[in-house]
């Protein structure tokens, strides 16, 4: 039991039993006399780690056999370039703008082709997910891009956009393994692991094998070609071995709790504790439209920046850390990833109530 609840948006809280297990194995992994950090990525010991991690992920997410799983580097942000570089065969794509990260991906893709904005909620400071049931997609579009969970604004798609048969590419960084999803609704799912899965430094991409093309944009660097990573089974160069090991451990932890259905149930229960309080509070209010709320990142504030700052300061003294909102939106953000226990959310809400009742903050 640690003495703070960490609400960071990422790198973020990891399951305590996983950290403990990793600590126990730190000096001697399975009798090898070495730490996983010290083992060659070409060794049979590491090969079993990466194989088992992929296999366990396939079972957990029910990934069909015609999808490949890639362990990549460069952060989620590098995918913003790799996606257009690898998929834009007609030089056209459609992007749905629902937040900071989707917009960054859009800005990057513009370097490579003609990008249409299929839908956007930017006009309302990304506070909601636009209606995507009948998007106007260019007939020649190579793919439709979305970001499922908007880490900064606290919104989430609750149904799959209608891409009119075009390949859907989905950044799932901040909702990865938080609930079940139907992998075959998408051509590609990808996400950084630093929120729900492992320490920062690894991206997992799950893509249909038909998207692994031979021909890509001319002069695409070798490291930026999905085909190379698929052909070499994520071992073209030295992968972030320790992160892959940690992902494997977190997946086993999720399996042990009952899988993604169970994760969803727990995440819904946790988020409800905070949203219910926000809906009843006369000091704090939620920033995302009710129908678009994220289970993972809850954004809220008071009517005053000074009160927000005071709340953040006092919260820290009560063991509530990394609750400050992103600078793009201000206020507060509580990230309730899989490893955040419900007790942590209850502790936060108890403190919010105490803060609300403690002084005349309404007047500030
Ligand atoms: C949804 C989403 N996409 C992309 C990113 C960027 O990730 P990275 O820093 O790994 O490039 C983030 C980071 O918080 C994110 O939340």
State the DSSP string of 14-69: --HHHHHHHHHTSS-STTSSS-GGGS-TTSHHHHHHHHHHHHHHHHHHT--TTEEE
State the DSSP string of 266-332: HHHHHHHHHHHHHHH-SS-EESS-GGGB-SSEEEEE-S-HHHHHHHHHHHHHTTEES-BPPTTT-SE
Q: For residue range 29-50, list pLDDT tens digits in order.
A: 999 999 999 999 999 999 999 9
The pTM of this model reads: 0.97
Work out the end-to-end distance of the chain between its first and last CA atoms, rounded to an integer number of angstroms: 37
> Which three-class secondary structure state does DSSP give residue 342?
helix
328 pocket-lining for ligand 1 (C-beta < 6 Å): no
Q: How far apart are CA 216 and CA 225, in angstroms?
A: 8
Q: Identify whether 166 is a catalytic site residue.
A: no
- The catalytic position among 94, 142, 156, 195 is 195
User: Whose CA is closest to atom 10 on ligand 1?
Assistant: 75
192 pocket-lining for ligand 1 (C-beta < 6 Å): yes
Mean pLDDT of 125-144: 95
Mean pLDDT of 184-200: 98
Ligand 1 centroid distance, CA of 77 (Å): 6
What is the number of alpha carbons within 13 Å of residue 68 lying toward its C-beta? 17
Mean pLDDT of 83-98: 96
pLDDT bracket for residue 139 (50, 70, 90): very high
Domain 16-256 falls under CATH 3.90.1150.10:
no
pLDDT above 70 (res 90): yes
Nearest to residue 96, comparing CAs of 57, 37, 136? 136
Residues 6+ apart with CB under 8 A from 244: 49, 50, 53, 71, 198, 202
What pLDDT is recorded for position 177? Answer: 98
DSSP single-letter state for residue 167: P
* Closest atom of ligand 1 relative to the 150 alpha carbon: 1
Helix pair angle (241-257, 16-24), 10° resolution? 130
174 pocket-lining for ligand 1 (C-beta < 6 Å): yes
- The catalytic position among 56, 101, 156, 324 is 101
Mean pLDDT of 327-346: 97
Q: Identify whether 92 is a catalytic site residue.
A: no
User: Whose CA is closest to atom 5 on ligand 1?
Assistant: 76
Q: How far apart are CA 328 and CA 326, in angstroms?
A: 5
Domain ranges of the chain: 16-256, 259-357
Using most ligand atoms within 8 A of CB, pick from 81, 82, 147, 151 the residue to mutate for ligand 1.
151
pLDDT bracket for residue 218 (50, 70, 90): confident
pLDDT above 80 (res 316): yes
What pLDDT is recorded for position 217? Answer: 83
pLDDT above 60 (res 364): no
pLDDT above 90 (res 2): no
Q: For residue range 223-252, list pLDDT tens digits in order.
A: 999 999 999 999 999 999 999 999 999 999
- Give me 323's structure tokens: 């609750």
Q: Identify whether 101 is a catalytic site residue.
A: yes
What pLDDT is recorded for position 362? Answer: 57
Residues 6+ apart with CB under 8 A from 231: none
CATH number of 259-357: 3.90.1150.10
Q: How far apart are CA 96 and CA 94, in angstroms?
A: 7
Cα diameter, the chain: 65
Q: For residue range 238-288, list pLDDT tens digits in order.
A: 999 999 999 999 999 999 999 999 999 999 999 999 999 999 999 999 999
- The catalytic position among 171, 249, 270, 324 is 171
Find where tokens 């403690």 sit.
Answer: 358
């Amino acid at each position: 039991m640690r003495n703070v609840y960490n609400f960071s948006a990422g790198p973020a809280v990891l399951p305590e039993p996983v950290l403990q297990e990793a600590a126990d194995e730190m000096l001697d992994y399975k009798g090898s006399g070495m730490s996983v950090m010290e083992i060659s990525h070409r060794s049979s010991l590491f090969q079993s780690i990466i194989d088992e991690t992929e296999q366990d992920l396939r079972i957990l997410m029910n990934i069909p056999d015609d999808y490949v799983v890639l362990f990549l580097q460069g952060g989620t942000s590098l995918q913003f370039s790799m996606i257009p570089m690898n998929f834009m065969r007609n030089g056209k794509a459609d992007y749905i703008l629902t937040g900071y990260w989707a917009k960054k991906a859009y800005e990057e893709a513009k370097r490579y082709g003609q990008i249409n904005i299929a839908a956007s909620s930017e006009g309302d400071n990304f506070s909601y997910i636009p209606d995507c049931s009948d998007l106007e997609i260019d007939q020649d579009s190579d793919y439709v891009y979305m970001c499922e969970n908007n880490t900064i604004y606290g919104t989430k798609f609750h149904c799959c956009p209608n891409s009119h048969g075009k390949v859907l590419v989905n950044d799932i960084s901040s909702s990865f393994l938080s609930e079940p999803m139907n992998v075959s609704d998408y051509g590609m799912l990808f996400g950084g692991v630093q929120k729900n899965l492992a320490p920062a430094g690894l991206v997992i991409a799950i893509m249909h094998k038909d998207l692994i093309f031979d021909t890509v944009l001319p002069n695409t660097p070798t490291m930026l070609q999905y085909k190379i990573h698929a052909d070499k089974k994520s071992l073209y160069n030295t992968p972030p071995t320790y992160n892959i090991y940690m992902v494997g451990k977190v997946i086993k932890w999720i399996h042990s709790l009952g899988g993604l259905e169970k994760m969803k149930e727990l995440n819904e229960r946790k988020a409800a504790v905070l949203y219910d309080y926000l809906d009843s509070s006369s000091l704090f209010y939620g920033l995302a439209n009710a129908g678009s709320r994220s289970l993972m990142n809850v954004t809220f504030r008071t009517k005053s920046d000074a009160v927000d700052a005071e709340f953040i300061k006092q919260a820290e003294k009560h063991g509530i850390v990394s609750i400050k909102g992103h600078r793009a939106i201000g206020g507060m953000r509580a990230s309730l990833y899989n490893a955040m226990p419900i007790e942590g959310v209850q502790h936060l809400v108890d403190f919010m109530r105490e803060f609300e009742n403690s002084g005349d903050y309404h007047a500030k």
